Chain A
Amino acid sequence: MRALAPALAAFAGVFAVALAATVWPGAKAPLPPWPARAPWLGGGTPETHAWSRFHARYYPLTLVFVAFEMEMMFMYPWAVVYVREGVTALADMGVFLALLSLGVLYAWRERALRWQ
């Protein structure tokens, strides 16, 4: 855990500097007029705000992704003890991955990977 300290320090330091660089130069500038703040549409006009209940058509995909992520959590320690455990480790993980791949196959056949 002692080794995490420099990593977190690097994160905090660069975060602070980048945040200051983004915020500080324009902090006291007046807000530009309304036409300068319109959304960029190449000369066009929008009718509504952009923020909306956006139809993210890939939402089934995110569920498959979460399943694989949970599997990744098990693979991290598995990788460390793999050489010690030998073929049984390979077989175990193979079964695990095969079962999850059935999920991907199902998603593919059910056209979760296409969204038109």
Chain B
Amino acid sequence: MTVLRRLAQDAPAPVFVARGGGAGLLPVELQADPRLRMVGSARHATVLLAAGRFAGAMGDALDRVHDQLPSTGAVVWWTADPDAARPPSLAEATVFGGPDPVEAVLAAHRRAVSQPGARRAVLADEPPHPFEGRGDHGQGGEGMMGGVPFGRAMAMTADDRDGLALDQLPLQLGPFLLGLPNGVRVSAVLQGGVVQEAELEGLDLGEGRALAGADATGARADLRWLAEALRLGGLDALARRAARLARAGATDAAACARVAKLVRRSGLPAAWSKVGVVEGEDARSRLERRLRFDPRAGGRRPLPADRIGRALAGQDWSDALVTIWSFASVGERAPAAAAP
């Protein structure tokens, strides 16, 4: 249907951005371009934009995301280091090394829409928990269930804070989720939407050249952080406005003040109040500090990851994401054990 194809080619390209090592929060500014539309789930995207370095565990996570992209989607790798080691998911990606990948993403989108040759999955086509047991047909074994159940396990019960013992969901929420800083993976146990225990883990972001413009300071960095915070709060239009200001260099203080006023009036600070209280400061006060766009208020002491993990226990999952993002540093996270 050529009419549909032509309509689809001119549409705003739904792109899922995966931020890797050396990318900082630079890709956040891309949402300022009306020809792109940032989506939160790779299932909604036609283009996977991988920005930065992906090696080791980051590469494994990117492989998983790559396979969850619909089979007609395309992959673009935005990197300053095209010779770096690349995971299998980027083996056939379009490599882009310049400062502004929008045109490359649009070209990939048009390709994905008009020539839907199915992209092959990278990971092996195996069930995540194959049937195991002792007998010839997989039966028998130890334990209450007589062997490991076929496919994934079902959730098991555990005590909860209010005395009931219902099921807990242990999961690892990966580095490419809205609300998580670059390279941070959360291993959480949820019961009924409330975090029972959580652990933040910083994946290795590798060493190498950063993307041009990835390091930002002052108001520009605050605006990038704010754009992601606004997307987390469901305010996409304001997020695009903040991204536009960041892209323009964040020199217009009056415009920044107007954005801050709109954010305060939207109820986002109210939604963040009494959330993530650490050392007497909640997420709202951390947000208010950023909204002042004060270049002199730098040098916030980074918080260790296990401290934040402990602060998450007992919070609703969306409040936990707010807590994590409110602590995100504005620059590139130092690797290994230091705070996100």
Q: Which A positions have Cβ atoms within 8 angstroms of B?
A: 32-36, 38, 40-57, 115-116
Contacts and interface: CB of A to CB of B under 8 A. Distances in A.
Given A33-B121, A34-B128, A45 B64 contact: yes
A68 B336 CA distance: 55
B174 interface: yes
B125 A41 contact: no
Contacts of A57: 162, 192-194
A41 B128 contact: no
A28 B209 CA distance: 47
B169 A43 contact: no
Contacts of A46: 152, 169-172
Interface string B161-173: 1101011111111
- Identify whether the interface residues of A are mostly helix, strand, loop, or mixed: loop
Contacts of A48: 152-156, 169-171
B155 A44 contact: no
Contacts of B177: 41-44
Interface of B: 18, 41-43, 61-65, 67-68, 71, 121-128, 152-157, 160-162, 164, 166-178, 180, 185-186, 191-194, 314-316
Given A54-B167, A55-B191, A57-B192, A35 B64 contact: yes
Contacts of B180: 42
B171 A44 contact: yes
Given A42-B65, A55-B191, A35 B121 contact: yes
B191 A36 contact: no
A35 B123 contact: yes
Given A35-B64, A40-B41, 6 more contacts: A33-B67, A34-B126, A35-B123, A43-B65, A45-B171, A116-B194
A96 to B, nearest CB: 32
Contacts of A116: 161, 194, 314-316
Nearest to B173: A44
B169 A42 contact: no
A116 B170 CA distance: 19
A51 B153 CA distance: 10
Nearest to A44: B174
A32 B71 contact: yes
A57 B163 CA distance: 12
B172 A33 contact: no
A115 B314 CA distance: 10
15 contacts: A34-B126, A34-B128, A40-B43, A40-B68, A43-B64, A43-B65, A44-B61, A44-B64, A45-B172, A45-B174, A46-B172, A52-B155, A52-B166, A53-B157, A54-B192
